[in-house]
Structure 1
Amino acid sequence: MRISFMRKLGLASSLALAAGAIAVPGAMATVTEAMLRSVPGAEWLTYGGDYAEQRFSPLKQINEYNVDQLGLAWYADMDSARGQEATPLVHDGVLYVTTAWSMVKAYDAKTGKPLWAFDPKVPRSTLYRACCDAVNRGVALYGDKLFVAALDGRLLALDQKTGKVLWEKVTVPNQTDYTITGAPRIVKGRVLIGAAGSEYMARGYIAAYDTETGKEVWRFNTVPGNPAKGFGAEGINKAAHEAAAKTWGNKWWELGGGGTVWDSITYDPETNLVLFGTGNAEPWNPAANGRAGDSLYTSSIVAVNADTGQYAWHYQETPEDRWDFDSDQQITVADIVINGEKRHVALHAPKNGHVYVLDVKTGKFLSGTPWVPVNWATGLDPETGRPNINPDAKYEKTGKAFVSLPGAVGAHSWQPQSYSPKTGYLYIPTNLAGWPYLAAKDWKPGAIGWKIGMDGYAVSMPADLKIQEGAKAATKGQLVAWDVANRKAAWKIELKGPSNGGVLSTAGNLVFQGTSSGEFVAYTADKGEQLWSFPAQTGIIAAPMTYTIDGEQYVAVLAGWGGVWDVATGVLANKGGAGRNISRLLVFKLGAKGELPAPPPMNQMVLDPPPFTGTQAQATHGGQLYGRYCAMCHGDAAISGSLNPDLRHSGVIASADALKAIVIGGQLHQMGMVSFKAALKPADAEDIRMYIIKRANEDKALASR
């Protein structure tokens, strides 16, 4: 691991860190339920800043009048060049952060001295079932323990002082279809976590585990199971699952159903409810397995009793979801005056492009308003909020391609929003990006890979400069300050590309956000005026946080480009301009003068593919297979982002045997490229090779124009 201050620590400290730990000195106060209910302003004890997940800090030493004096106090380089999505936590002077591959680091929060590091040693072959990079969003703290969920489905309890493993438990139903990327939450002495996998054969759930032993206390499944087996529901939730089963169709349970709880979990002490978002229905294409109806409880907010996991209410934001419109985005609880009445509400801005306001106790729909252009629905019912779906958006019925606004990446993805009670604004990291959908013909689920029922090849980006430039021009990002009470944007910041960082707001009238173009920026919270920025040398997708030590306020953010936008969107992947990953923790304070080392030079890769020697039929078939099995990691139309290999440049495509050894033989399984022999034959691998070569030659010709 490269640490900027390692020379100052000396060789002895370097060796101690490499050996595993430098124990946190002195006694540490245990993290209690009372502290989580009322987080001390000097600390950041839970992923969203507090139980309400507002990501608002009362600290104001750094404010609109002096933020231009903010400088780099210290930084630490991470030992992984994957996407970085975690929010650091700070307790008793120690900063805890996760990096890609679910690794955990502990630092002295004032000086940046490394204290200990923990690697759960996630098998790199896990990457094939992680839809959107080997990311992790953070840890949870309770008592004297730290909790981290590993990508391969394990939940681990570590000692806060040393990083020693106290217990670990496999929480996923299997380690074939599920991964975990989200941050755990602590509720009443239990650690809550779900899992990802709605594009595989996963059945969504959220579960609570005893923090002392790891024993499961309760579990709520978000999709009903096989009716012949009692829906696979706990007794207290059988009625809820019987009701949900009526909204599906055919044998939905055979593909799991989706609805995974991969990110948002919010506890509301006032109602003793846990609110969480659920993922898309599986498969995306309803016709692929005869799915019919709303498909509860997918693409919904669900509330359960915090003590028992018993169903309380649900609100489905996207019935009969066929566009991958997860509702897993952060859920924020706030007290808002609506029509002259103070209401205790949940604020949600999911993928589908509408800001929802719901009553926390009952789930009653109070309002829903689009904050971005929306074409998949023509409006919401004013009483229920149910969308009026555009008939053209039902691509499986029309048989035609449909370009949806917003698209599958969402108007708002996982990047956390922030709510400031001082301004009444919800600050939303916003994507303005469409997505093409086309139902696959005669689709059957395979033994490996995504199971979404889509024809990714037919709608992939063509080697057409005019179309590519048009798509780039229409694709961008925004930071939107949404006036909740008045249901309108108070201000907007236009950004170069989508997939910008999460947001922090503070009592100093500030909003902080990192961008995909590599800047860490501070704006005024009330008007959106840019006051300060710092060049991070890499895209920032994680959310910042803030804390104080010895009377000084710090702001920290984890930098490192990656995630779904980079790995999946092909020619649009670097629209923001980042173009590379330099994974680093950046910590700022007033008056600091630290500097980053010069970034390494950018790799200039020139396309020089072998000649295309196949047939058009081969290339077409190979493109169809590539779209189904390869595009999610190696990019749309064989154009990768910055993290995974761009196969057009790979020397492997020059050899049929070399490609088969990887795709069929699994030669690179230790690097995450597992064998696809369960779905592909050697002849299929050759057709994929021909498609990549053909596409590489087309792109080479395009670049020469």
Structure 2
Amino acid sequence: MQKSIRFPATISFVYSLLLLVLILISCKRIEYKVIDDIAISNENEESDWLAYGRTHSETRFSPIDQVKVGNVNKLKVDWYMDLSGDVGLVSTPLVVNGVMYFTGTMNIVRAVNAVTGDLIWKFDPEVGKAIRGKRQAGWIHNRGLSFYKGKVFGATWDGRLFALEAETGRKLWMVETFDPKRPLYITGAPKAFKGKVLIGNGGTEAGPSRGFVIAFDAETGKEAWKFYIVPGDPKKGFENEAMEMAAETWKGEWWKHGGGGNAWHGFTYDPDLDVLYIGTGNGSPWNQKIRSPGGGDNLFLCSIVALNPDTGKYLWHYQTTPGESWDYNSTQDIVLADLTINNEKIKAILHAPKNGFFYVINRANGKLISAKPYVETSWASHIDLNTGRPVEAENIRYEKGPAYITPGANGAHIWQAMSYNPKTGLVYIPALHEGFIYSDHTIDIKKWQSVDFRGGTGVRLYLPENPPGDYPPVKPPKDYPASLIAWDPIKQEEAWSIPQDKFWNGGALTTAGNLVFQGRSDGILLAYNAENGNILWEFDAGLGISAPPITYKIEGKQYISVLVGWGGVYAGVGGKDAYDMGWSYGVHTRRLITFSLEGKAKIPKQPKPFFPKPLSIPSFSVDEDRAAKGAKLYYGYSCSGCHGGSGISGGMAPDLRASLICIDSVAFKSVVKHGIKLDEGMPNYEKLTDEDLLNLRHYIRHIANNSIIAESKTTE
């Protein structure tokens, strides 16, 4: 019988310890950091990108300088990941402990190795199942995730907030943030801070809407607090003193229209002052004559509101656009910076909302320090520094007839992220230059009422070259539709700007390498000299870029990553201009692309820009009466929000003029009524009758035939 050998306990312990050390050395184990508020506040961290704007300050500035002015032209593709099934990609990835997390179409979350791009896990919240029979409109894109103490937080466009175990992608909890039958949606990134997760929502144009933000316990998903942005029906009482105060700035029966204020983006936590700032949305509806007849500031629309992060209690506010009537929300970046102005050190907020003015605000008390227009602003001449209020132009609320107003409803700057570089002292803004003619001359403002999922704005917009009635055509404010602006927040003046030929370009990243990175809607990713705007490097991704780049450093190597996938609202409602980009639905491969100075990956070329042609179907005889009824359904059910006005798709959804499904009654019914494409984001409309479906098909063929006729005249 063979005897077993027994080692003394001390020898066994030493042997086990030595074995453990050898295993750790051989695996090159990563030292996992706990990601809490201290970690997210660390401006000197190089290895990670821990929050939407990198840190709690939301500056999108990285201290990494390995890639710099002198060598950025050597950047090459290091790795890439094809994202089959995705459409619009607008998300900011996170990088935590060597893993990259990002959200794609239909709110699917992926975790990949940040060095190799290998997939670690994928989480599908099954939005298609959630929206069946409940949701009739929404956006299938999302701007990002949040990370806190080992958990990844995301949100779905049907209103759910969820927490995932970062290591495995296992769902830890999921909650509904609003009734899924309400005409609200989520496209913004959650904000994690102090053991809580904050989320807002959009929907001011989708029906009567009263905006709010809501915070949940990060561990359990239990609701912590809720803050309404505008007051409700006074007869039902007010939730707090802030709502009672705000109600004094409203007129009429505003609560029947919701009021708006939806905070769908723009949340910042200030660890220095322990304050939460939220940027609030525009009015529901836009037209104040309907929403609040008799005027008023309509608090807290279009404001930065400071809240106690533990309780949600109101602290102070600054309103950028009192009584707004133009879709000038303030849900854009709220950037924290320490500035020295007139020899005084100020903890400041930097804010460039849609209304075209750049604001520097004392974040300790909400006092306005300075404000100047960074683009053309015909709605107001200037901001009075004594009152903090805009000095408005005449007829700005189109009370005397149509009014041409700049910026337009798309804003001077929307959700595409700006960045701030403390070394250059400049803010880099993806700016837009356009105006619209606003008019309510065909609207009965006394009877107008928004309806759930059909919505409306209470005002009509006209292109400057195609005005209503005898209103004269107007020349656009610039010869180019967009630009990248470098803005000095202390001098309140432009340092440099780069005109751009195309609309709707991506967000900006800036680094200690004296660089600014930005992707454009024409598919080009560029690196600029942060001091003067000189172009130093270009890469053609072969598909429009809407998302902002990020950067991180692992084992001494700097990476720059960006999601490539033309998206956002302009891909739905951009009309002919968006169509002319050539990023047609389903043609080009969406990708996550990562670059480094040592990159050697060979990336397949994308197809050329594609322009779907309307189908000619002589056998389908259009009944114009049916087409007129179909048009009311098409716009009444917000089909134009994804498929485009007059069916001209900008790439978010199929171009219906070129769709064979729209010709086949059975196929059309299976998609529109029965929802066989729910998993791709196409809602089902169960209440539509066969008559409705037929009328819709006649309208689609009507606009297809008109497009064919217009094109033939152009080529003659």
Equivalent residues in 2 for 1:26-105 (5 A)?
28-39=32-43, 40-105=45-110
Q: Could you tell me how far apart the structure 1 residues matched to 2:53 and 2:698 are?
A: 47
Matched, 1:563 2:568: yes
Task: Read off the aligned partner of 1:446 and give its amino acid letter.
Answer: V
Alpha-carbon deviations, 1:486-537, whole Å to 9, x = none?
A: 1111111111212111111111101111111101111111111111111111
Structure-2 change in CA distance of 1:533 and 1:641 (3 Å): same
Structure-2 change in CA distance of 1:665 and 1:75 (3 Å): closer
Matched, 1:413 2:384: no
Paired position in structure 2 for 1:423: 424
> How far 1:696 sits from its partner (Å)?
2.7
Task: Read off the aligned partner of 1:433 and give its amino acid letter.
Answer: E
Equivalent residues in 2 for 1:245-256 (5 A)?
245-256=247-258
Paired position in structure 2 for 1:223: 230
SS at match of 1:481: strand
Structure-2 change in CA distance of 1:247 and 1:615 (3 Å): farther
Q: Could you tell me how far apart the structure 2 residues matched to 1:491 and 1:337 are?
A: 21
Q: Could you tell me how far apart the structure 2 residues matched to 1:282 and 1:133 are?
A: 18
SS at match of 1:31: coil
Query: In the alignment, which of 137, 140, 146 is matched to residue 134 of structure 1?
Result: 140
Decide whether the 8 Å contact of 1:468 with 1:571 is kept in 2.
no
> How far 1:302 sits from its partner (Å)?
0.6
Q: Could you tell me how far apart the structure 2 residues matched to 1:541 and 1:264 are?
A: 17
Query: In the alignment, which of 501, 509, 521 is matched to residue 506 of structure 2?
Result: 501
Decide whether the 8 Å contact of 1:427 with 1:481 is kept in 2.
yes
Structure-2 change in CA distance of 1:433 and 1:361 (3 Å): same
Matched, 1:353 2:356: yes
Identity of aligned residues (%): 40
Paired position in structure 2 for 1:10: none
> How far 1:286 sits from its partner (Å)?
2.5
Equivalent residues in 2 for 1:193-208 (5 A)?
193-200=199-206, 201-208=208-215
Decide whether the 8 Å contact of 2:356 with 2:374 is kept in 1.
yes
Q: Could you tell me how far apart the structure 2 residues matched to 1:274 and 1:113 are?
A: 36
Paired position in structure 2 for 1:21: none
**Which deviates the most, 426-435 or 283-292?**
283-292
Structure-2 change in CA distance of 1:247 and 1:694 (3 Å): farther
Equivalent residues in 2 for 1:147-186 (5 A)?
147-186=153-192
Decide whether the 8 Å contact of 1:259 with 1:280 is kept in 2.
yes
> How far 1:380 sits from its partner (Å)?
2.3
Structure-2 change in CA distance of 1:458 and 1:666 (3 Å): farther
Matched, 1:636 2:645: yes
Paired position in structure 1 for 2:127: 122
Equivalent residues in 2 for 1:266-281 (5 A)?
266-281=268-283
Q: Could you tell me how far apart the structure 2 residues matched to 1:319 and 1:679 are?
A: 44
Q: Could you tell me how far apart the structure 2 residues matched to 1:460 and 1:169 are?
A: 47
Decide whether the 8 Å contact of 1:359 with 1:365 is kept in 2.
yes
Q: Which runs of 5+ in 2 are unaligned?
A: 1-27
Task: Read off the aligned partner of 1:418 and give its amino acid letter.
Answer: S
Q: Could you tell me how far apart the structure 1 residues matched to 2:435 and 2:670 are?
A: 36
Q: Could you tell me how far apart the structure 2 residues matched to 1:204 and 1:57 are?
A: 34
Query: In the alignment, which of 388, 392, 398 is matched to residue 389 of structure 1?
Result: 392
**Which deviates the most, 354-363 or 429-438?**
429-438
Q: Could you tell me how far apart the structure 2 residues matched to 1:524 and 1:50 are?
A: 23
Paired position in structure 1 for 2:589: 582
Structure-2 change in CA distance of 1:566 and 1:448 (3 Å): same
Q: Could you tell me how far apart the structure 1 residues matched to 2:632 and 2:395 are?
A: 24
Q: Could you tell me how far apart the structure 2 residues matched to 1:459 and 1:219 are?
A: 41
> How far 1:445 sits from its partner (Å)?
2.4
Equivalent residues in 2 for 1:291-690 (5 A)?
291=293, 292-395=295-398, 397-400=399-402, 402-439=403-440, 440-442=442-444, 443-455=448-460, 474=479, 476-574=481-579, 581-610=588-617, 626-628=634-636, 629-651=638-660, 671-675=681-685, 677=687, 682=692, 685=696, 688-689=699-700
Paired position in structure 2 for 1:16: none
Decide whether the 8 Å contact of 2:130 with 2:158 is kept in 1.
no
Q: Could you tell me how far apart the structure 2 residues matched to 1:173 and 1:245 are?
A: 25
Structure-2 change in CA distance of 1:447 and 1:267 (3 Å): closer
> How far 1:55 sits from its partner (Å)?
0.6
SS at match of 1:566: helix
Decide whether the 8 Å contact of 2:138 with 2:158 is kept in 1.
no
> How far 1:76 sits from its partner (Å)?
0.6
> How far 1:62 sits from its partner (Å)?
0.8
Q: Could you tell me how far apart the structure 2 residues matched to 1:407 and 1:252 are?
A: 25
Structure-2 change in CA distance of 1:93 and 1:516 (3 Å): same
Decide whether the 8 Å contact of 1:476 with 1:576 is kept in 2.
no
Q: Could you tell me how far apart the structure 2 residues matched to 1:159 and 1:171 are?
A: 20
Alpha-carbon deviations, 1:132-187, whole Å to 9, x = none?
A: 73111121111121111122111111111100001111112444322111111221
> How far 1:622 sits from its partner (Å)?
5.6
> How far 1:659 sits from its partner (Å)?
6.3
Query: In the alignment, which of 682, 685, 707 is matched to residue 696 of structure 1?
Result: 707
Structure-2 change in CA distance of 1:653 and 1:85 (3 Å): closer
Task: Read off the aligned partner of 1:631 and give its amino acid letter.
Answer: S
> How far 1:44 sits from its partner (Å)?
1.0
Structure-2 change in CA distance of 1:381 and 1:132 (3 Å): farther
Q: TM-score, with normalisation over the residues of structure 1?
A: 0.88
SS at match of 1:415: coil
> How far 1:703 sits from its partner (Å)?
3.8
Structure-2 change in CA distance of 1:63 and 1:602 (3 Å): closer
Decide whether the 8 Å contact of 1:517 with 1:539 is kept in 2.
yes
Q: Could you tell me how far apart the structure 2 residues matched to 1:230 and 1:69 are?
A: 63
Decide whether the 8 Å contact of 1:505 with 1:511 is kept in 2.
yes
Alpha-carbon deviations, 1:311-349, whole Å to 9, x = none?
A: 011111112222111110011010112223221110000
Structure-2 change in CA distance of 1:359 and 1:574 (3 Å): farther
Decide whether the 8 Å contact of 1:75 with 1:585 is kept in 2.
yes
Q: Could you tell me how far apart the structure 2 residues matched to 1:366 and 1:130 are?
A: 44
Task: Read off the aligned partner of 2:35 and give its amino acid letter.
Answer: V
SS at match of 2:40: helix
Structure-2 change in CA distance of 1:672 and 1:469 (3 Å): farther
Structure-2 change in CA distance of 1:566 and 1:668 (3 Å): same
CA RMSD across the alignment: 3.2
Q: Could you tell me how far apart the structure 1 residues matched to 2:280 and 2:333 are?
A: 11
> How far 1:285 sits from its partner (Å)?
2.0
Alpha-carbon deviations, 1:259-304, whole Å to 9, x = none?
A: 1111111111222111110111101122345543222111111111
Decide whether the 8 Å contact of 1:618 with 1:690 is kept in 2.
no
SS at match of 1:253: helix
Decide whether the 8 Å contact of 2:627 with 2:696 is kept in 1.
no
SS at match of 2:299: coil
Paired position in structure 2 for 1:261: 263
Q: Could you tell me how far apart the structure 2 residues matched to 1:248 and 1:472 are?
A: 33
Q: Could you tell me how far apart the structure 2 residues matched to 1:383 and 1:616 are?
A: 58
Decide whether the 8 Å contact of 2:631 with 2:696 is kept in 1.
no
Decide whether the 8 Å contact of 2:320 with 2:389 is kept in 1.
yes
> How far 1:447 sits from its partner (Å)?
4.1
Bigger-Rg structure (1/2): 2
**Which deviates the most, 546-555 or 246-255?**
246-255
Paired position in structure 2 for 1:17: none
Q: Could you tell me how far apart the structure 1 residues matched to 2:449 and 2:119 are?
A: 50
Q: Could you tell me how far apart the structure 1 residues matched to 2:627 and 2:380 are?
A: 36
Decide whether the 8 Å contact of 1:130 with 1:179 is kept in 2.
no
